[in-house]
Amino acid sequence: MLDASEKLIQQVKRHEGVKLEPYRCSAGKLTIGVGRNLDDVGISEREAEFLLMNDLQKVIDQARQYSWYDKLNDPRKAVILNMIFNMGAGGFSKFKKTHQLIEEGDYSEASIEMLDSRWSDMVGRRAIELSRQMDTGEWQD
């Protein structure tokens, strides 16, 4: 037997619907999920963290497709995850020379290759920080 809060959830979901992609509601507001008005309500810090953790798990799964990924230390793994998060697995897959250099353990050259890209031009300081992190194997603050 469902309690009152479970019944309420079912009823609101039935009335609002569940939309996993953003859409404009009848009032013209950007909405997602079960009637979440993103224009007026947005999301909380906690909700943003929850979404980030889900997204990062997908990125980790994508990174593990590279045979060399699990051999990296945590700061270098973070570089890979950060890059995949930023440009997607497809974008990161185009860094073939960087991949080869990482696989060979030549992190200094890999860090230089990272900077020799359109991605680096687009993200600027982010690329510089991640390049240093790849080169040194140490977190950059």
Could you give the C-alpha distances from 61 to 15, 66, 67, 80, 107, in angstroms and in order? 36, 10, 12, 12, 22
Closest CA to 101 of 135, 138, 61, 140: 135
DSSP symbol at 138 = S
**Domains in the chain and their CATH numbers?**
4-37 (no CATH), 45-136 (1.10.530.40)
pLDDT digit of tens for each residue in the chain (141 aa)?
779 999 999 999 999 999 999 999 999 999 999 999 999 999 999 999 999 999 999 999 999 999 999 999 999 999 999 999 999 999 999 999 999 999 999 999 999 999 999 999 999 999 999 999 999 999 998
Give CA–CA dist 81/57, Å, rounded.
Answer: 10
Q: Work out the burial of residue 55: count CB atoms within 10 Å of its CB; fewer than 13 is exposed, 13-18 middle, 19 or more buried.
A: exposed
Question: In terms of pTM, does the model score above 0.85?
Answer: yes
